[in-house]
Amino acid sequence: MTGLSVRDLVVRYEGPGRGWTTAVDRVDLDVADGEVLALLGPSGSGKSSLLRAVAGLEPPAAGSVTWSGRDVTSVPVHRRGFGLMFQDGQLFPHRSVAGNVAYGLVMAEVPRAERGRRVELLLETVGLAGYGSRAVSTLSGGQAQRVALARALAPAPQLLLLDEPLSALDRGLREHLTGELHDVLRSTGTTALYVTHDHDEAFTVADRVAVMVDGRLAQVDSPGRLWHAPVSREVAAFLGYGPFLAAEVRGDAAHTLLGPVPVREPIAGPVVVGVGPSALQVVTGEGWTGGDDLDVPVVATRFVRGRTEVDVTLPDGSAATAVAPGATAVADRAQVRLDPDAAVVVPA
């Protein structure tokens, strides 16, 4: 195949007095030419160790890394033809913006005129046209990361490896740059492996998302399928589903104390229903209508990003969060309703 192929990869670290720790455990992974794949997982899941092994920064204990059929497992970092971008950008403070972007082109001995054209084009691509002569010390955090991205893209790497590139930025800027990253990677046709712990970032940037848990790939899927059909309770919990309600499958639905939820994929054995982040809603402006609505005690309320969040206790003892529109006043009890399309059925 063309693109990246990782087979049976193992990465281990030796800690003082702790023996060897396996950070990446027999991972198989493919990234097609032109595809952007996000490695998503909690801290310590092994995603950065996997990226560093692909880059050549960590020697694998076993397994192989190939690019378009060529084994690069033992090839030095600078000869793999891969680009790297990290959280802090690591810009050269003594170089201008243009000097930073041109660095890889100088190393590759690209003629000066062609370097200038390439730098100008990339600065325009990342939204920094006209910034070439500026000192990097004058840039904001977001601008500095745009420069780091342009520098990584300048030599036209076969594969771009990005390790938490936006995690040091504030939330609003991170959300804005996530969309820009998506557009830049597509417009340049870049093949990329993108490490992040942020769900929204992964879902926005990537064509496919690989969830890592304890050094293994738990699921690799398109963003939409991953969200609507997590393969396990573990993956669902990491994505933000919970609590998990006892359920009994009858026909094409899993029946819970909050009503039925459609079974989208066949599941063998017992199941539970994961309540999505906005699946439980406070019923306002009407009396109890019967059906599966529940009257439950309220533990706490807060106003978050344009809506009221209400912590409640369900009849089975589960702690859950329900949402209500705007600054809704909520008393010590609330009527809640489950949106079945915002919940998932997973193996118990």
Q: Report pLDDT for 265.
A: 87
Q: What is the pLDDT of residues 221-243, one digit of tens each?
A: 999 999 999 999 999 999 999 99
Q: Return the SS3 of 99.
A: helix
CB 234 within 8 A of CB 207: no
Taking phi first (over 0 means left), then psi (-120 to 50 degrees means alpha), and beta for anything else, what does residue 344 get? Answer: beta
Residues 253, 189 share a domain: no
Distance CA(210)–CA(213), nearest Å, equals 10
Residues 280, 193 share a domain: no
Residues 77, 186 share a domain: yes
Distance CA(68)–CA(138), nearest Å, equals 40
Residues 248, 199 share a domain: no
Residues 199, 297 share a domain: no
CATH number at residue 8: 3.40.50.300
Q: Report pLDDT for 19.
A: 81
Q: Return the SS3 of 50.
A: helix
Q: Pick the last residue of a domain from 201, 228, 255.
A: 228
Residues 183, 208 share a domain: yes
Q: What is the pLDDT of residues 23-46, one digit of tens each?
A: 999 999 999 999 999 999 998 999
Residues 150, 100 share a domain: yes
Q: Report pLDDT for 288.
A: 56
Is the pTM above the cut of 0.85?
Answer: yes
| DSSP string for residues in 186-249 | HHTT--EEEEES-HHHHHHH-SEEEEEETTEEEEEE-HHHHHH--SSHHHHHHHT---EEE-EE
Range of the domain at 322: 233-347
Six-digit token pair at 111? Answer: 């003629």
Six-digit token pair at 153? Answer: 């893209």
Residues 256, 187 share a domain: no
Q: What is the pLDDT of residues 96-133, one digit of tens each?
A: 999 999 999 998 889 999 999 999 999 999 999 999 99
Residue 80: is its pLDDT beyond 60?
yes
Q: What is the pLDDT of residues 171-199, one digit of tens each?
A: 888 888 899 999 999 999 999 999 999 99
Q: Report pLDDT for 154.
A: 92
Confidence of residue 22 (pLDDT cuts 50, 70, 90): very high
Residue 52's Cβ-count burial label (10 Å; 0-12, 13-18, 19+) is buried
Residues 262, 204 share a domain: no
Distance CA(185)–CA(34), nearest Å, equals 9
Residues 341, 255 share a domain: yes
Residue 330: is its pLDDT beyond 90?
no
Q: What is the pLDDT of residues 130-171, one digit of tens each?
A: 999 999 999 998 899 999 999 999 999 999 999 998 888 888
> φ, ψ for residue 257 (rounded to 5)?
-65, -15
Q: Report pLDDT for 173.
A: 85
Q: Pick the last residue of a domain from 200, 228, 256.
A: 228
Q: Pick the last residue of a domain from 169, 196, 228.
A: 228
Q: What is the pLDDT of residues 277-300, one digit of tens each?
A: 999 999 876 655 667 889 999 999
Q: Report pLDDT for 323.
A: 94
Distance CA(66)–CA(317), nearest Å, equals 51
Residues 179, 256 share a domain: no
Residue 171's Cβ-count burial label (10 Å; 0-12, 13-18, 19+) is exposed
Residues 221, 239 share a domain: no
**Average pLDDT of span 202-219:** 97
How many distinct structural domains can be found in the chain? Answer: 2
